[in-house]
């Protein structure tokens, strides 16, 4: 009996200890399901989704009216053009090139720490001309027609046309809603809403002609006379693209003043939930 007991104790002493990392038992199932490990996995999953699949953004200005409203919360598709090396502008794999008519979120070339959202109207090699409110792509006038539905336009308020600083007051009644048709690489017509002022603007500084260079895009806002875009700061490098706008998942007229990233629940625009903005 004494020998048996000694052997038993010796075997027990030789049992491998559970692996630990900084004092945590990482081999314990509960560590990964209920402990700190589960939180680490949740953070890793969220970062992976943000890097690879979807990322949320809030529309801060009226440059994309009436397609996107101020305080629209959108999801951006990060994988539509390919997969990038994390924290890099280099591609692991590319699926396709950005095309005319698509709405993209990108790093502002003048200040990469700032993100912009605009519509692609020109791809490499395109000749772009904007003259007196008319858009030409490769010398072809892009057709503007009166839309059959004013769904986008009906959401707008006079407040949407005022500058953030309150220095300039404008009104919805000063604008007309049109549908513009852009021909994409698949020879399909991409129809989208644009805003145009009712009164003619003479000597608009955004008028001009451009030829899009390799690896760059020409982008414009749908609110054609109230958008800071390629007409003013130049071409957008493809490498700056963060993703393609997909759909609105939340929208409100006002944010909570002391927490400007959260919607005021009394001003939520329920009718815009899951509104597709991929065109």
pLDDT at 6: 46
pTM: 0.82
pLDDT, one tens digit per residue, over 77-134 is 999 999 888 878 888 899 999 999 999 999 999 999 999 999 999 999 999 999 999 9
* Mean pLDDT over each residue of the chain, to the nearest integer: 85
pLDDT at 53: 66
- In this structure, what token pair is assigned to residue 3? 């020998």
Q: Which of 61, 78, 107, 118 is catalytic?
A: 118
Active site residue 107: no
> Is it the case that residue 142 has pLDDT exceeding 70?
yes
23 dihedral zone (left: phi>0; alpha: psi -120 to 50; beta) = left
195 dihedral zone (left: phi>0; alpha: psi -120 to 50; beta) = beta
pLDDT, one tens digit per residue, over 23-33 is 455 455 554 45
Quote the Cα angle for 227-228-229, to 5°. Answer: 100
pLDDT at 195: 96
Instruction: Domain ranges for the chain, please list them.
Output: 19-52, 56-276
> Is it the case that residue 51 has pLDDT exceeding 60?
no
> Is it the case that residue 64 has pLDDT exceeding 60?
yes
Active site residue 118: yes
Q: Please give the average per-residue pLDDT across 260-279, as a whole number.
A: 90
Query: Out of 3.30.160.60, 2.10.109.10, 3.40.50.620, 3.40.630.10, which CATH number does the structure's domain 56-276 have?
Result: 2.10.109.10
> Is it the case that residue 38 has pLDDT exceeding 70?
no
Helices (H) and strands (E) in the chain, counts: 5, 21
pLDDT at 222: 97
The DSSP-derived string for 145-175 is E--S--HHHHT--GGGGS-TTS-----GGGE
Report the distance separating Cα 272 and Cα 34, nearest Å: 37
Q: Please give the average per-residue pLDDT across 192-210, as a whole number.
A: 92
Q: Which of 63, 230, 246, 251 is catalytic?
A: 63
> Is it the case that residue 254 has pLDDT exceeding 60?
yes
Residues whose CB is less than 8 angstroms from the CB of residue 72 and which lie 6 or more positions away in sequence, other chains included = 58, 59, 248, 250, 251, 272
8 A C-beta contact, residue 116 and residue 105:
yes
Cα 278 from chain centroid (whole Å): 10
pLDDT, one tens digit per residue, over 159-181 is 898 765 455 678 999 999 999 99
pLDDT at 4: 43
Report the distance separating Cα 116 and Cα 228, nearest Å: 9
- In this structure, what token pair is assigned to residue 239? 């490498």
Q: Is 248 helix (H, G, I), strand (E, B) or coil?
A: strand
């Amino acid at each position: 009996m004494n020998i048996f007991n000694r052997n038993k104790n010796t075997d027990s002493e030789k049992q491998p200890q559970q692996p630990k990392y900084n004092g945590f038992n990482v081999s314990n199932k509960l560590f990964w399901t209920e402990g700190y490990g589960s939180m680490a996995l949740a953070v890793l999953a969220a970062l992976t989704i943000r890097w690879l699949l979807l990322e949320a953004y809030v529309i801060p200005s009226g440059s994309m009216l009436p397609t996107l409203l101020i305080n629209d919360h959108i999801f951006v598709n990060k994988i539509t053009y390919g997969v990038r090396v994390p924290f890099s502008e280099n591609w692991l794999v590319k699926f396709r090139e950005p095309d005319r008519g698509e709405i993209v979120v990108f790093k502002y070339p003048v200040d990469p720490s700032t993100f912009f959202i605009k519509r692609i109207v020109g791809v490499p090699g395109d000749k772009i001309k904007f003259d007196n409110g008319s858009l030409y792509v490769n010398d072809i006038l892009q057709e503007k027609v009166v839309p059959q539905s004013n769904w986008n336009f009906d959401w707008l308020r006079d407040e949407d046309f005022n500058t953030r600083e309150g220095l300039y007051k404008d009104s919805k009644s000063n604008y007309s809603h049109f549908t513009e048709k852009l021909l994409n690489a698949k020879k399909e017509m991409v129809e989208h809403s644009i805003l145009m002022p009712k009164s003619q603007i003479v000597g608009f500084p955004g008028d001009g002609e451009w030829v899009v260079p390799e690896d760059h895009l020409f982008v414009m806002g749908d609110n054609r006379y109230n958008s800071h875009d390629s007409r003013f700061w130049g071409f957008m490098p493809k490498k700056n693209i963060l993703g393609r706008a997909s759909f609105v998942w939340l929208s409100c007229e006002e944010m909570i003043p002391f927490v400007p990233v959260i919607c005021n629940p009394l001003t939520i625009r329920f009718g815009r939930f899951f509104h597709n903005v991929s065109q």
